[in-house]
Amino acid sequence: MRDRPIELDVDNKLVYSAHDYPNSIYEQSWFKDPDFPANLPEKFDQMWGYIYREGIAPVYIGEFGTKLQDPKDAPWFEAITAYLSGDFDNDGVSDISGTDLGISWTFWSWNPNSTDTGGILADDWRTVNENKMAYLEPIQFDFETDVSGGDGGTGAVETYARFTVTLSEPADGDVVVQYHTLEGTAGDGDFTAASGTLVFAAGEQSKVVSIAITPDRLAEGDEQFSLVLTDASGAVIGGATGTATIVNDDAAVPPPNPDPDPTPDPEPEPNGDLDALFALVDSWGSGFNGKIVIQNDGAAVSGWELEIDMPYEIADIWNAEIVSRDADGYTIRNADWNGSIASGGEISFGFVGVGQGNAGDIDLFI
């Protein structure tokens, strides 16, 4: 196609439609390669991806599908959906612009009576196969609302924070883990809270959780929220929390009007009048999520430090930094972006504790 492209007399009428199927459909040589599945992005690129990537012509993957029964099908499914989304080398980072939705596709098939691939519908013709949808939902888009020129006419593109959950090695059998979002400096008005279950089938190594971001026109600082993993079965959670940053893309906050009084204000007390409150957000057999809110009822402060006396180890922390640890607990300080607390203002941070959390065992000193 690169050297001998098809040229029509009428522009914008040609789309190349490739069909791509896994090992269960046909045992291609690249599925037997010792480098499988790392070799798949290069194979996609060689066979049809370069047409899209080099801007030769539009590409539409007219068929791809699997029953997810062959152990080699899950790595293929993961690799091809990542490639279709624009991650051409499968390193977890998109290689296309933020407004580009990736390569168009159709999954084969919706109905369950395809003997080779089954369907998105289960054999009862009613139940959706959630294992398949876990791969497809992150790359779905709506022509009416997400595509410029669609029926909606707005061309608006919904923005997602995408968390990649990865096993240290491909699963031998089913690995199940629960997840939920947790507010940080970003609250419920900044993203769509979500919770659910990830199921890694044999051969799978990573899953993507997409969280919708709620756009606004407020000029504000960057904000963060987290995705927390709990209750794993078939594996041990190594890192329980991932943090997403919502970057401010609105106009800068205008500087305040200068004070007409040339007399300098007295320096505020270093600690203002701070009060710290702990909340046990949730807990499970081996750990818990804690949230600490620091409120300032006095003069503005430009930095804070807090002591947490408790018998629990902190496995992960966000929107704060650990200064030190001793037999009684931890000393925590502000992160780079949340040291300033205005009079009457507040900030919050969170952490994952190890063990069955009890709020009565946790004392705060500030």
Architecture per CATH, 1-156: Alpha-Beta Barrel (3.20)
Q: What is the DSSP string of 221-284?
A: --EEEEEEEEEEESS--S--EEEEEE---SPPPPPPPPPS--SPPPPPPTTTTEEEEEEEEEEE
Q: What pLDDT, on the 0 to 100 scale, is given for residue 120?
A: 94
Cα 73 from Cα 20, distance rounded (Å): 12
Residue 87, pLDDT > 80, answer yes
Burial (CB count <10 Å: 0-12, 13-18, 19+), residue 129? middle
131 exposed, middle or buried (CB, 10 Å; 0-12, 13-18, 19+)? middle
DSSP assigned state of 30: G
Residue 287 and residue 178 in contact, taking contact as beta carbons nearer than 8 Å:
no
Overall size of the chain counted in residues? 366
pTM summary value: 0.47
CA distance 326 to 258: 45
Question: DSSP letters along 128-152, please?
Answer: B-HHHHHHHGGG---TTTTSTTSTT
Residue with tokens 């993961």: 78
168, exposed or middle or buried, with CB in 10 Å at 0-12, 13-18, 19+? exposed
Portion of the chain with pLDDT greater than 70, in percent: 87
Name the CATH code of domain 159-255 (choices 3.40.50.1390, 2.60.40.420, 3.40.50.620, 2.60.40.2030).
2.60.40.2030
Residues 224/283, Cβ–Cβ less than 8 Å: no
- Say if residue 267 is exposed, middle or buried (CB neighbours under 10 Å; 0-12, 13-18, 19+): exposed
Does residue 288 surpass a pLDDT of 50? yes
Q: Can you read off the two tokens belonging to residue 2?
A: 């690169």
Would you kindly state where each structural domain of the chain is located, as residue ranges?
A: 1-156, 159-255, 274-365
Q: How wide is the angle at C-alpha 161 spanned by C-alphas 229 and 90, nearest 5°?
A: 85
Q: Does domain 274-365 have CATH number 2.60.40.290?
A: yes
| 1-156 and 274-365 agree in CATH topology | no
- Over residues 219-242, the pLDDT tens digits come to 667 889 999 999 999 999 988 898
For all residues of the chain together, what is the average pLDDT? 85
Per residue in 119-164, pLDDT (tens digit) is: 999 999 999 998 899 899 889 887 666 665 555 444 444 577 888 8
Lowest mean pLDDT among 56-70, 234-248, 265-279: 265-279
Give the rounded percent of residues in the chain with a pLDDT score beyond 90: 40
Residue 47 DSSP SS3: helix
What is the Cα–Cα distance from 354 to 245, expressed in whole angstroms? 25
Amino acid at 125: W
Strand, helix or coil for residue 18: strand
CA–CA dist 271, 273 (Å, integer)? 6
**200, containing H or E segment:** strand 195-200
* Span 172-220, pLDDT tens digits: 889 999 999 999 888 888 898 989 888 888 888 888 888 888 876 666 6
> Tens of pLDDT along 290-327?
889 898 888 888 899 999 999 999 988 888 899 999 99
